[in-house]
Every structure is written in structure tokens, then in C-alpha cells.
Structure 1
Amino acid sequence: MQALEKITINTNWIPLVLVFLFAIIGVLKVIDSEKLKGYVFAILNKGFVEDEVEGDTSFFSSFYSLLFVFSSTVLALVISLIVSEKKVDFILNFSSFLSVLGIVFSYLIVKSLFEVALTRLFLVKKQVRFYVVSKFSYLYSISFLLLISFVVFQYSPLNTSSYIYIVLGLFIVRFIFHVSNNKNLIFSELFYFILYICALEIAPLLTLFKLML
């Protein structure tokens, strides 16, 4: 029954979203294939992130705008799947996916703007530049892995619970690498780091999931 449900969903709208995502990857490759490769493996390549810190990572460039859209869409797909598994009255269709995508997109935009405002307000932009760049670099990196795992899930007997564990595992890996590569900054400002995690990472996510679940 579960396999039949997957096929039904796939023949409706999910394949179109997947084609859209792979099309974005194709465009990113045309724009800058080396940078695309760098972001795919960013979580394992600290040197690439350090190079990005020195460069221009403006959201308004075509490459970073598309990368942001790609990551947001992948996250929306994953969240839609998880919510549909946990919330009985949540129907996984294109309309509900667009709603989740809107929430994810808005959350990431507002959060990014708020972080930029804070760093400029307290004049600590240079000190936390690597922290911020590595954070979104690792998010983009695992987004590619999330997409691959989502495709595998859709076209294999893998059950939803197993897929959720894979997703959680990827985010845990991202967190470990992020903390490990920023340990000097984090432990020197541990109180502010904990405050930041609680206020800007955990609390908003819990609120969003509570609203959706």
C-alpha cells in the first residue's frame, strides 16, 4: 500500500519539483561549476569555506540566489514529507507543499536579515564572518544529500521512518562540523552562542513545527 501511495504522489507533482531542482543544479553548473562542486562537498572542505569568506557571497548574485532557492525547495520537500507522516490531517499535495515552501523561504530570509542586522549592530561582522558563511555553506551542502536521499526514498522500499532518521543524521553531522570548525569562537563566547542557538535556531524551529504539526 505504501509503495502504491508513493507512485501516486510521484506521478502527480513531486517529479516536476525534482526536475525543477535538477534544472537549478544544471544552471548553477553553467554559471560556476567549480563553485557548485565546492558547495556540494563544503561540509568536508574547510578550505573552500575559507575561500568563500574572503569572497563575495551576496544573496543578490544569480549563483547564490539560485542556491538559496534550491536549498529552500529541498527543505520544503523534506519537511512536507515529515509533516505528512506525523500529522494525520496534512495532505501531501502541491498546494500544501507550496505553503510549506513559503514558510521555509520566509523563515530563512527573515533569519538571515536578522543575523546580518545583529552583526552590524554590534560591529562583529568580521569576527563571525566564518561562522555565518560556514553555517549556510554546510546547509547548502547537506541540501544536495537531502535531495539524493529523497529521490532514493521515493523510488525504493525505504520507509518514511528510516528516511526521517537519515534526515536527522545529516543535520546532526552538519551541526558537528559547524561547531568543530568554529570551536574557538564558540567557546570564547559560549554564553552568547547558547543564547543565539536558543533564540534564533531552536525557538523559531520549534514554533514552526508546532504550528505545522
Structure 2
Amino acid sequence: MRHIDFNTAETLLLFASVLSLTIAKFIDEQKFHSFIMLFVNYKYLKIFSKEPNQTTTPFNFFLFVPQLICFTLIVWIGIDIFKLPININPYLILPFLFLFILFKFYLEKMIATIFDITSFVESFHFHKVTYRNLAALLLLPLISLLIYSNLNIKIMFYIILIVFISLNIISLALTLRNHQKLIGKYLFYFILYLCALEIAPYLILIKFYFIDKASN
């Protein structure tokens, strides 16, 4: 169970999210506005997906931080909601998730180099991360409402979980749609990529970190 007075951990993490978005806007205000406009048009993706190494720029890193924090808070609150016998705080979940995503990212780059599909994987990854960064902007107000309101925490968590899963499915669907021509060209490699890097890592993570610990 979480017993943190005044929601200190949640407040610090949510503040870090807002601060990170502010820094991203300060780094490139025009680009940030283009990113926000993804809600109504695809100009941001059309322009910046053509530039190399977009995912690893400081601007995209600060946009990624709120996504990481949202994921961390959902996992942490979920442990409490489902009463899993795991004693961990968000300050440990966050770096663990960051290292997991970092490992996955460089594994993707290595496999892309081996299969000679680097440009395709970079573009695919940039689209996917961008949509998920945008989804984090929608999740942050919901998570804040869960933490600071008097609404039923379980109902709110299930709503957030449904929205979180739905947004990830939508982001993947949009990314697949935007790359349907290239996917047809690299279909075999894409299937390997999808199974090895988009499905298997999360199944392994759930199996060894949550199910195994919960059963002990």
C-alpha cells in the first residue's frame, strides 16, 4: 500500500512532467507548437520524420519524460490497486522503466542495422514515440484527477488504464497506417521486428517482474 503524506512522490513526478514540457517548449517553441497540433494535423510528423536521429534529440527527450512518468505512475498505482505483494516506490520504477526502454531502443537500432532497414525503423520508432508522447498529454490530467480528487480511486484507475491501452493501440495503428507502403516492402523483417521487439520484451517483463514476484 502507498502511504505517502501529501502525495509527495506523485506531486514531484507530475511537476517534473510539467517542467519537462516547459523545457521542450523553451528549446524549440515552433516545433513544440507543431507537436501540439498533431491533434488536428500531421505536419509535425511529415516534416521531422525525414530528419535523421530525431528520436534522440534533446527536444524529444524532454517530450518523452512525461510519457515515462505516466507509465511509472500507472504501474505504481496499479500495484496498490491490485494489492500485488511488491514493495517498491516510483523512484525505483522510473529508472527501471527508463533502462528497459533504453535497452530496447538500442536493440532495435542494432537489429535494424543487421537487417539494413535503419531508415524504416528510425521513422517507425519516431512516429510511435511521438504518438505516445502526445498520449501522455491526455493522461496527465486524468492521473492528476485520480491523485488529488475524492473520486473513487478504482474507477478512476480503470478509466485511466482503458484510456492508456486505447491510446497505445491507436498510436500503433496510426504508425502502421503511416508506414503501410514500407511495411509491405519489408514485411518479413517487420514481422520479426514486431514479435521480437514490440511484444516479447513486455511479455518477459510482465512474467519475470510482476507474475513471478507476485507468486512468491
Superposition deviation, residue 118 in structure 1: 2.1
Name the SS for the 1:13 alignment partner: helix
Residues 34, 43 of structure 2: 8 Å contact kept: no
Does the Cα contact within 8 Å between 2:132 and 2:167 map onto a contact in 1?
A: no
Mapping for residues 101-180 of structure 1, pairs under 5 Å: 101-156=94-149, 157=151, 159=155, 160-180=157-177
Structure 1 position 46 matched with structure 2 position 47? no
Q: 1:84-105 CA distances to partner (integer Å, 9 max, x unpaired)?
A: 32343235xxx52122112210
Pairwise CA RMSD = 2.6
Report if aligned partners of 1:31, 1:63 keep a CA contact under 8 Å in 2. Answer: yes
- Identity across the alignment (%): 23
Deviations 1:152-199 (A, max 9, x none): 322342522222112111111112211111112223333332222211
Cα pair distance change 1:60/1:204, threshold 3 Å: closer
Q: Residues 43 and 174 of structure 1: is their aligned pair in 2 closer, same or farther, counting only changes over 3 Å?
A: farther
Where does the alignment leave 5 or more consecutive residues of structure 1 unmatched? Answer: none
Q: How many residue pairs were aligned?
A: 206
Q: How does 1:53-92 map to 2 (within 5 A)?
A: 53-58=49-54, 61-91=57-87
Once the two structures are superposed, residues 31-87 of structure 1 have per-residue CA deviations (whole angstroms, 9 ceiling, x without a partner) of 112222333444653331121123354566432332333322222122222233234
Cα pair distance change 1:194/1:98, threshold 3 Å:
same
Cα 1:44–1:10, aligned 2, differ >3 Å: closer, same or farther?
Answer: farther
Higher alpha-carbon deviation: 135-144 or 188-197: 188-197
Structure with the larger RCO, 1 or 2 (CA within 8 Å, 6+ apart): 1
Structure 2: which 5+ runs fail to align? Answer: 212-216
Q: Deviations over 1:3-23 (max 9, x none)?
A: xx9996653321121112111
Q: Note if contact 2:54-2:126 (Cα within 8 Å) is conserved in structure 1.
A: no
TM (norm. structure 2) is 0.81
Q: Which 10-residue stretch deviates more, 167-176 or 114-123?
A: 114-123
Shift of 1:205: 0.6
Normalised to the residue count of structure 1, the TM-score between the two structures is: 0.82
